[in-house]
Each structure stands twice: as structure tokens, then as C-alpha cells.
Chains A and B, each alone.
Chain A
Amino acid sequence: GEDVEQSLFLSVREGDSSVINCTYTDSSSTYLYWYKQEPGAGLQLLTYIFSNMDMKQDQRLTVLLNKKDKHLSLRIADTQTGDSAIYFCAEVLTGGGNKLTFGTGTQLKVEL
């Protein structure tokens, strides 16, 4: 199956760290992605990780991948109000071409 699950909502205070979680069921992922969607807009690629990596850091963003547990997370350090958006994880499967399967999305709200 290709179910990709995320918690629906996360609220954090400005300056705190945010951790958005994603679980997937298909172990044949090659790449896993994090996208950000602001209201009424398309998706912005934030970062991605190859399936043979455990961690990737890119400025305020840290991606952790636990292949054994099929768990992916995105940590945003020093969260700002501009980070408020919906965050989608997505995977590309081995042999799936470059067809993306998206998670259900997590709405991140950053409060002052």
C-alpha cells in the first residue's frame, strides 16, 4: 500500500522548534520530500532525503529518516510566523517513475 499519514495540526510558539511527523507503509521509497503550502498557493519544495540517509540538515530544517520504523520527520528550528502553512511529506517509490504519493498534510500554526 501507499498510505502516508501525518498528524493534522500542530501549534507552536514563535522561537520554539516544530517537529512534523510522517509515517509511511511502503518500504520501497527512494526519495522522501517535504513540501510547504501557503494559503491558495502551490507547493514549495523545502528539502528531500535519499532513502539511504538517516539525516539531512539544511539551515533551520532537519530531516530525520527511520527506515526501520518507516518514519520521517521535519524539524524547524526557531519557528517564525512565516512558517505557518500546511506541510506535506511525499515519497517516490522504486520503480514508480517520479510519481509522488503525498501525505495527508499537517497544518502548522505559529503563535506569538
Chain B
Amino acid sequence: GAVVSQHPSRVICKSGTSVKIECRSLDFQATTMFWYRQFPKKSLMLMATSNEGSKATYEQGVEKDKFLINHASLTLSTLTVTSAHPEDSSFYICSASTTIAGDGETQYFGPGTRLLVL
């Protein structure tokens, strides 16, 4: 159980185009979904937190107009990188959170999406 998928796994796009990445919780309903960005050989940087039906909360320094997050249901969140540029090339990882009674809250991570902007 607790499987999170991301689509696509890898995308290459031209500079100036927009790219949408989907994150789905396959067998559970996620109260919250998170989007992370990971640079090569670096840790994960939290970009934003989203709850179903409400606006995402962005971390300091993350442009909300650049990285659009839509959380339409308890099983789907999307991240759209608008007008992508080469510096947006990165590994984007989502996670979905659910509370397991007695065990605290745990996040389940997707496999990540590799974005390359040419």
C-alpha cells in the first residue's frame, strides 16, 4: 500500500514552453501533497505544500507564478513549470501525506520526474 506515482518520469522541453508534472496517490487519499526539487548530489528542497481544494503554500524564494500547483482531488496534484528555462532543469519529487493512527504522519514519495530544458 501507500504508492505514489509521478508522470512523466522524464521530460525534455524547449526553453519557453510549459511542462506539467502529475503526482498521484494510488491507493490512499492524501490530506497533503508536497513538491520538492533536488539538484545533483544535493538534498531535497521543499518548494510548496498543497492541500486539496485550497491554494498551495510556497516556501520562501519559490516563485508561485513560475511553479503553478493545482490540487484538484485527494489523489492528484499537478506542478506546472511555466515558461521553463535551462535553470529549471532538475529532479522534481512529490510526496503525499497521510496520518497513520498511532504512528505519526508519514510522507510517501513518488519516483521523481527528471526535467531537462534545452
A interface residues, Cβ below 8 angstroms from B: 30-31, 33, 35, 40-45, 48, 50, 88, 92, 97-105
Contacts and interface: CB of A to CB of B under 8 A. Distances in A.
Contact of A44 (B46, B91, B109, B114): B109
Contacts of B107: 45, 98, 100
Q: Decide if the interface of chain A is mainly helix, strand, loop or mixed.
A: strand
Interface of B: 4, 6, 32, 34, 41-44, 46, 49, 91, 93, 95, 97, 104-112, 114
A92 B105 contact: yes
Given A40-B114, A42-B109, A43-B109, A105 B43 contact: yes
B111 A98 contact: no
Contacts of B4: 42
Contact of B93 (A31, A42, A103): A42
